[in-house]
């Protein structure tokens, strides 16, 4: 489940990053055109400054990502590059304009989670969740990743509410949210009624065209544990 989830998350992030790249260069052209055609003025300069800030932030983001993805000759250089990239992403996640803020926070969370800093990753995800200007897809991705990081919590009430909210929102993470709900209903302390609810969810996922192939295979195996499941 984790590999498939992160694979889809990476694909969604990459597609969104490509859109950001287009806006990055387009934003520079728009800002220059506004200054040239409309002339100098308070409003015009604010627009120009905003586009310049967005271009600068996205440039810093992509530079950090390229450094992280580049081959490093030794462990010391790799560690220094990671430290510098984390510092850049942390700054961008705090106050970068536009979508760059959410991208930086999500990539920062990925790095921190990989280093075992779950608390730091959760803080970065929460930054996207709390950002009213975040792209809806990135907002849902951050919520899904945050929810999954709490899957072993002893009290599943808040986790269930989060999965239900994400499931009701639709989009590319709906199937994962439904699978999360099914897993909660299959916990060792779940009731017979919850087991039956899990069975219903799993049947829906096994037949859903929106569920990834790997997920449908997983739920089909789980369904075999229920008497009478098809």
pLDDT by residue (tens digit) across 55-88?
888 889 888 888 888 887 888 888 899 999 999 9
Please tell me the total count of domains within the chain: 2
Residue 145 domain flag: no
Residue 188 domain flag: yes
Within 10 angstroms of residue 223's Cβ, the number of other Cβ atoms is: 17
Statement to judge: residues 112 and 225 lie in one domain: no
Within 10 angstroms of residue 209's Cβ, the number of other Cβ atoms is: 6
Residue 101 domain flag: yes
Task: Give the closest residue to 110 by CA, choosing from 143, 145, 71, 80.
Answer: 145
Statement to judge: residues 18 and 107 lie in one domain: yes
Residue 143 domain flag: no
pTM of the model: 0.70
Work out the percent of the chain whose per-residue pLDDT is above 90: 26
Statement to judge: residues 102 and 169 lie in one domain: no
Statement to judge: residues 21 and 41 lie in one domain: yes
Average pLDDT, the chain: 80
Residue 125 domain flag: yes
Statement to judge: residues 33 and 86 lie in one domain: yes
78-83-86-90 Cα dihedral, nearest 10 degrees: -170
Q: Indicate if the pLDDT at residue 214 is higher than 90.
A: no
Q: What is the pLDDT of residue 157?
A: 81
Structural domain of 22 = 1-138
The string of pLDDT tens digits covering residues 165-198 is 999 887 878 888 998 899 888 888 888 899 889 8
Residue 144 domain flag: no
Average pLDDT over residues 37-57: 62
Statement to judge: residues 58 and 162 lie in one domain: no
The string of pLDDT tens digits covering residues 123-159 is 999 999 999 999 988 999 899 899 988 887 777 788 8
Q: Indicate if the pLDDT at residue 4 is higher than 80.
A: no
Residue 218 domain flag: yes
Statement to judge: residues 119 and 163 lie in one domain: no
Statement to judge: residues 117 and 159 lie in one domain: no
Residue 97 domain flag: yes
Statement to judge: residues 100 and 173 lie in one domain: no
Statement to judge: residues 122 and 9 lie in one domain: yes
Q: Where a domain ends, among 96, 117, 138?
A: 138
Statement to judge: residues 115 and 154 lie in one domain: no
Statement to judge: residues 177 and 200 lie in one domain: yes
């Amino acid at each position: 489940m984790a590999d498939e989830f992160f694979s889809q998350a990476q694909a969604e992030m990459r597609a969104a990053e490509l859109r950001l790249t287009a806006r990055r260069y387009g934003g520079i052209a728009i800002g220059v055109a506004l200054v040239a055609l409309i002339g100098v003025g308070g409003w015009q300069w604010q627009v120009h400054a905003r586009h310049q800030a967005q271009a600068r932030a996205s440039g810093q983001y992509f530079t950090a990502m390229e450094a992280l993805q580049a081959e490093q000759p030794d462990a010391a250089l790799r560690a220094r590059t990671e430290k510098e990239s984390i510092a850049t992403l942390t700054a961008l996640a705090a106050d970068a304009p536009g979508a760059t803020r959410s991208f930086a926070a999500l990539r920062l969370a990925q790095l921190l989670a990989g280093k075992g800093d779950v608390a730091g990753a959760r803080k970065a995800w929460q930054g996207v969740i709390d950002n009213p200007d975040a792209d809806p897809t990135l907002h849902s991705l951050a919520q899904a990743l945050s929810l999954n990081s709490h899957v072993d919590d002893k009290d599943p009430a808040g986790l269930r509410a989060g999965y239900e909210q994400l499931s009701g929102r639709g989009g590319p993470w709906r199937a994962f949210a439904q699978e999360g709900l099914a897993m909660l209903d299959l916990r060792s302390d779940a009731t017979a009624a919850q087991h039956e609810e899990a069975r219903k969810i799993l049947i829906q996922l096994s037949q859903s065209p929106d569920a990834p192939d790997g997920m449908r295979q997983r739920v089909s195996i789980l369904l075999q544990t229920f008497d009478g499941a098809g």
